[in-house]
Structure 1
Amino acid sequence: MFSSKAVRLVAVAAMIVTAGGIGLAAPASACACGGVAAPAGATATVGNEVALLGWDGTTETIVMQLALRSGGDHAALIVPTPAPATVTAADAAVFTELRERTAPEVVTKHRWFEETADGSMGGAPGRAAPTVLDRVQLGPLEATTLTGGDISGIQAWLDENGYVMRAEVVATMAPYLAEGWSFVAMRLTGTAALSGDLDPVQLSFPADRLVYPMRMSSAATSVQTVRLYVLGEHRVQRSDPDRGKQQVNVEFAGRVTELDDPALRELAANGRDYLTELSVVIPKPAEITSDFALTATEDKDYRRVVHRTETLEFLGFPAGSAALAAGLLVTVGVLLAVVVRVARR
């Protein structure tokens, strides 16, 4: 149905760390990945989260991007995956093209007059430590793939490697561990403050269904938003138990051809070129009980239509007013001509 290769940064549980593991204050903001926190005295906020998903029947790819503003250093994220993931860098051009492809149709109505104002690698002894399968450096990001272990071993590994997490965030990892999931631990290793979109990260992993991890987001303390682009053979819809408790809107649905970006072309290969764009708002993160499950549905194309009104202008003035003024001048001129002719008689 869907394809592989491409998954970006972010997904489920966030925190700010330093190499020595500084204690955390309350989260400065939240994202759809479970919340962003910062060391005492520092700030970190996430503006938005966007992800591209693809599944070819055996391998899922998630390409994600976050807009992060950090006044300190070492922002970190934990992403659960059903199986160990391969992590690579991705190109932000993917999302640029997706935005262009799904842009709403603009219908412009013209008017003649202006409207008025009213108109390290192991856990502590005695714990089941996770196994480190891979560690890669992607620019300022260090990504480590972990598998196995128990919650105490995971906690110990995070502590030993400078990841400091709120207890409620750690608790959300337990169900994933019980189900045999793996994790990707990602952190910024630079020291400079950040403001803007981080380079996307691509995660690819074996999967028997299309899923977007969300359960760790139950630790978030504010409204969560996420935008998903899904490429597949058909239009998709949410089919998980949480869909009725969240605001899910279809922003675009239709086939996309002649794609420019190589990653998009690969994901859309072999008939997986039907693109569905979903925007999700989660008013009460504490009520999250499931990951996003995405299944095929009827191919009903959709594109948003934006209506706008423009005032026609002539020489910098509203065309209607200019026409009235011109008409008035003509009328005055005719009247003056009549008056002069009568006076002469």
Structure 2
Amino acid sequence: MTSGLHTDGGAANYSRGMRTHIAVRLAATAALLLSAVGFGAFAPAAACACGGVVSPGNSATVHDEVALAGWDGRRETIVMRLALESGTDHAALIVPTPTPARVSAGSAGTFPELARLTAPEIVTERHWFAGDGGGETSAAAPPGRGPTILEQVRLGPIEATTLSGGSLDGLRNWLGANGYEMKPEVTATLDPYLRENWSFVAVKLTGAGTLTGALDPIRLTFDSDRFVYPMRMSRAAESPQTVRLYLLGAHRLQRTDADAGTQYNGVEFAGRIGDIEDQELRELTGGGNDYLTELSVGIHHPASITTDFVFAAAPGDETYRRRVTDIEYVELFGFPAGTVILGVVSLAAALVLFAVVRVVRRPS
């Protein structure tokens, strides 16, 4: 058999010959592995989707970011994992939250579990011919007043500090004195959050060496009167941003913020999940919040960002799972059967035609 592959999202068709068949299966495997660690090529412009990456000389880059978020109507939890490449031991991340967050270690098994639960359905089709198929705001704080340190925890190679209050200058001074070096354009993105009395989680590496690779997930829990994911710091990014979010709720979720209509929002999975092996994921799905919406967001022009992501229930709970179709071609003598049969028929027709012509031209 030879085979190809297409998806129901209108992706380009693959599939010509056995070499294509092998390439397709390798590509499908790679796609599943990427799903397990999140996706998106994030700009090293001192910003990632959830906040600001800070380091001397912009030597830290977030290659991949993926987050799981859930909200019970009062309290929100965000579990995030970043793949970081850092040429310094002073790399750090600033994440805004509506109220002070409690920070704890996340489970390393959460995101592989999510990848398993949302993996695409693979179906097989048999074809005879090659090429078939396709497929509210408050007054600002007095200038120079520094933030209040509410909590500081060590989680493996990172230190997380929860900060609240202060002015922009005061926060900038605290960050600079504590190893968080930020470019002016990134610092400017903190001001709207300060004016709205948001808090911040400052996360930095504590080891003496550099770090390259995926950090263990960290869990942020905070009170909130709406389901929100911080995005406004990404205005400082210099290249397009891509975000993958797993959203838990009682129903299917969609974005309702003002920027939603100007950015790409693709649903990768929607449905209720069960048979959960990861303990952290089981805890977050308690109380009926077992409907999972996997959303991929593309932001071509980060400078146009005006809001954070805000989520609310979608009009309906329609389920969706990506479908990958593996096309197998029936073969005869190592070639697609339809092509062989068509060739035989064409040859037979040619012979018959040749015989008829000879009879017609035969002298009387």
Question: TM-score normalised to the size of structure 2?
Answer: 0.73
Structure 1 portions without partners, runs of 5+: 1-13, 15-25, 116-124, 328-345
Q: In the alignment, what sits opposite 2:75?
A: 59
Q: In the alignment, what sits opposite 1:195?
A: 212
Match of 2:250 among 220, 230, 233: 233
Change over 3 Å in CA distance of 1:94–1:319 after alignment to 2: same
- Work out the percentage of aligned pairs sharing the same amino acid: 57
Match of 2:118 among 87, 102, 117: 102
Q: CA deviation at 1:30?
A: 4.8
Contact 2:52 2:94 in 1 (8 A): no
Q: In the alignment, what sits opposite 2:162?
A: 145
The letter for the 2-side match of 1:301 is: T
Q: Distance in 2 between matches of 1:155 and 1:105?
A: 49
Report SS of the residue matched to 2:326. Answer: strand
Q: CA deviation at 1:129?
A: 0.9
Q: In the alignment, what sits opposite 2:138?
A: none
Report SS of the residue matched to 2:286. Answer: coil
Report SS of the residue matched to 1:65. Answer: strand
Contact 1:53 1:63 in 2 (8 A): yes
Q: Distance in 1 between matches of 2:196 and 2:47?
A: 25
Contact 2:109 2:278 in 1 (8 A): yes
Q: Distance in 1 between matches of 2:171 and 2:47?
A: 22
RMSD: 2.7
Q: CA deviation at 1:126?
A: 7.3
Q: In the alignment, what sits opposite 1:305?
A: 323
Q: CA deviation at 1:309?
A: 2.3
Once the two structures are overlaid, the 10-residue window that deviates more, 64-73 or 287-296, is 64-73
The letter for the 1-side match of 2:71 is: W
Report SS of the residue matched to 2:170. Answer: helix
Q: Distance in 2 between matches of 1:44 and 1:149?
A: 27
Q: In the alignment, what sits opposite 1:71?
A: 87
The letter for the 1-side match of 2:232 is: R
Contact 1:85 1:145 in 2 (8 A): yes
Structure 2 portions without partners, runs of 5+: 1-41, 132-141, 345-364
Q: Distance in 2 between matches of 1:262 and 1:239?
A: 30
Q: CA deviation at 1:75?
A: 1.5
Q: CA deviation at 1:210?
A: 0.6
Q: In the alignment, what sits opposite 1:47?
A: 63
| Residue 297 of structure 2 corresponds to residue 280 of structure 1 | yes
Match of 2:172 among 142, 155, 169: 155
Change over 3 Å in CA distance of 1:296–1:71 after alignment to 2: same
Question: TM-score normalised to the size of structure 1?
Answer: 0.77
Q: Distance in 1 between matches of 2:74 and 2:96?
A: 18
**Residues 204-235 of structure 1: CA deviation (Å, up to 9, x unaligned):** 01111110011111111110011111111000
Q: Distance in 2 between matches of 1:48 and 1:312?
A: 41
The letter for the 1-side match of 2:121 is: E
The letter for the 2-side match of 1:303 is: R
Contact 1:30 1:224 in 2 (8 A): no
Q: In the alignment, what sits opposite 2:263?
A: 246
Report SS of the residue matched to 2:56. Answer: coil
Q: CA deviation at 1:260?
A: 1.2
